[in-house]
Amino acid sequence: MTKQWIPAVAMGVVLSWATGYGLAQHQHGGDEKAARSQQKVQDTKAPTTRPAWPLCPVMGEPVDFGVRTITDAGPVYFCCPDCIPKFEKDQAKYAERVAAQRQALKKLERVQVACPVTGNPIDGKTFIMSGGQGVNFCCKDCPAKYQQNPAQYKAKLEAGYTYQTRCPVSGEKIDSTAFVDLATGQRIYLCCPGCGEKLTKDPAKYAASLDEQGVKLDLKKLKVQPKQKDDQHGDDHGEHGGQGHP
């Protein structure tokens, strides 16, 4: 009888250990699965930080990329038009702040949209490598002129970039040859020409998206000017009077 009891006890111990081990493994496996799931959620979250925004050298406020002047070293951006004459009156006074602005600009995404030779929109086809940098042009005649003296076109090349790199309508990357000219004189870049009509029809709907990219719309002017144009011409073009494509 004693011999029969010993194996029974041993079997009970083994079964108890196996059950406990299985539960522990199941719990451990569940913890790992939960951890992997949580990590996956964290990995898919959008970054919460963004590069420091360029500041106006005069006022120290965030710049509006539609307000700028061109210097020999390239464009300088401001928060409002009133700052430009103050800057131009004494550029040396603001040299340190301009340098800080340019350092901030280097951290932002940008797209070349204008030819450094003519200032016209690029054609999307004419491209060369120069000094380790890709340069786009408006036509096949410009690369030869540029290559004769690239330094001569340095400032115009820098001025030929836009920091508005996302279509305000779709959120997609812009096509550098697709844009719409608004009644304010602002050129807004799009992912495709088809988005131009949506933007001009209801600019207020997309103003926040543009503001996030440093482009500030004067919505009052956009609403008033097309109506005045229609009254002058005696016809009705809706709200698409500012649209234009290359």
pLDDT, residue 49, reads 55
Range with the poorest average pLDDT among 91-100, 167-176, 178-187, 235-244: 235-244
Rounded mean pLDDT of the chain?
Answer: 80
Scanning the structure block, which residue is given the tokens 């200032």? 119
Q: What is the pLDDT of residues 154-181, one digit of tens each?
A: 999 999 999 999 999 999 999 999 999 9
Tens digits of per-residue pLDDT, 60-77?
999 999 999 999 999 999
Residue carrying structure tokens 């103003």: 207
